[in-house]
Amino acid sequence: MARDRLVRVTKGTLVRVPPTTVTLVEKIDSREWTESDGHVTIIRRYICDGTDQEIFVRSKLELDTPIIYSGLVRAAIDFDAVVVDEATHSGRWNCTVKYKTLDTVGTPINQSSYAFDITGGTERITQSIQNVGNYAPPGKIAPNHKGAINANKDRIEGAEVFARSYNFNETHILPNVLITNEYKGILFHLKASMNDKFFKGFDRGECAFIGATGARRGQGDWEINFKFSASPNRNNFTIGEILITEKLGWDFLWVKYSSKVDSGSNTLVQIPASAHVERVLDFGNFDNLLIGSA
């Protein structure tokens, strides 16, 4: 029989790596979904082949199935033998892996704290929401720049204004068993992404995950602080005479200007020629943060 080796999969836990002949295949009736009293359970079913040893079946499941799946936590691993041949060290096993909501697997749900900051900051804009008026001396007509701010002959200076922003953070207590390299990798890949669906009161594209900091409390659970920033979506608004149908909160909008003779004042002015909405953040599934969406 092929030799096995030990690998550390979580701090303080050693798992025996099964021989390469051991395989794990998900069954066609896998991913059963149930919900009761607001708690979701997903069951994934597998066939494990290639070993007569229970320890190798369990370690194969621990190594090859995710700890976090669809925002749920791996709560239980079960398996039973279909056939075992000790002479050839072969066998087939029916396996199930259950995933449940975090508060059903022993995490304290009453030790969270929240803080927010709406004092904001400033941003430089080159286009106004609305041109309220244009004024000139008697006998003259002021040029209409179509909302361009501080428009000079060859450039738009813009203006510094208060930014509409909402920054908030949440501190949650998570059990030590969850804070694996896999979970840290999830946090890393979600950093600088925006919500792909409704999250914490914000529509899709309005909330960005800034990052997280964490520290273990002695030999117990982890205290993790999650930081977010929100920016409102905008739909069906105009830049000059250009209609913008959609700009998500964390999309970037920029405007290209061109020179045109203003018919009223008969002067050359800079006006919006085109407007461009750029997606600069990926979407992320914030369910995998394991802190809920409400």
- Residues paired with 25 in a beta bridge: 47
Question: How far is residue 284's CA from residue 71's CA, in Å, rounded to a whole number?
Answer: 12
The alpha carbon of 125 is separated from its chain's Cα centroid by a whole number of angstroms, namely 28
pLDDT at 95: 96
Segment holding 60, helix H or strand E: helix 54-64
Whether 171 and 257 map to the same domain: the answer is yes
- pLDDT tens readout for residues 119-171: 877 888 888 888 888 888 898 888 888 888 888 877 888 898 888 889 999 99
On whether both 11 and 27 belong to a single domain, the answer is yes
Domain identity same for 167 and 232:
yes
CA distance 172 to 226: 8
Q: Are residues 90 and 67 in the same domain?
A: yes
How is residue 188 written in tokens? 């890393």
Q: Which residues constitute the domain of residue 288?
A: 108-294
Alpha-carbon span 256 to 253, nearest angstrom: 10
- Angle in degrees, CA 116, 117, 118, rounded to 5: 125
Q: 134 with 261, same domain?
A: yes
End-to-end CA distance of the chain: 51
Query: Quick one: 85 and 120 in the same domain?
Result: no
Asked if residue 23 and residue 94 are part of one domain, the reply reads yes
Residues 146 and 257 in one domain: yes
Domain count, the chain: 2
- Whole-structure pTM value: 0.69
Q: Are 92 and 82 within 8 A, CB to CB?
A: yes
Amino acid at 258: S
**Cβ partners under 8 Å of residue 285, min gap 6:** 71, 190, 196
**Amino acid at position 176, single letter:** N
Q: Note whether 286 and 238 are same-domain residues.
A: yes
Q: What is the pLDDT of residue 17?
A: 54
What are the DSSP E strand ranges found in the chain?
5-10, 13-17, 23-26, 32-36, 39-49, 68-69, 72-85, 90-100, 113-117, 122-125, 159-162, 166-174, 193-195, 207-216, 222-230, 234-239, 242-247, 251-262, 267-279, 282-284
Which 3 state secondary structure label does DSSP give 154?
coil
Q: Can you list the residues of the chain whose pLDDT is less than 50?
A: 1-15, 107-110
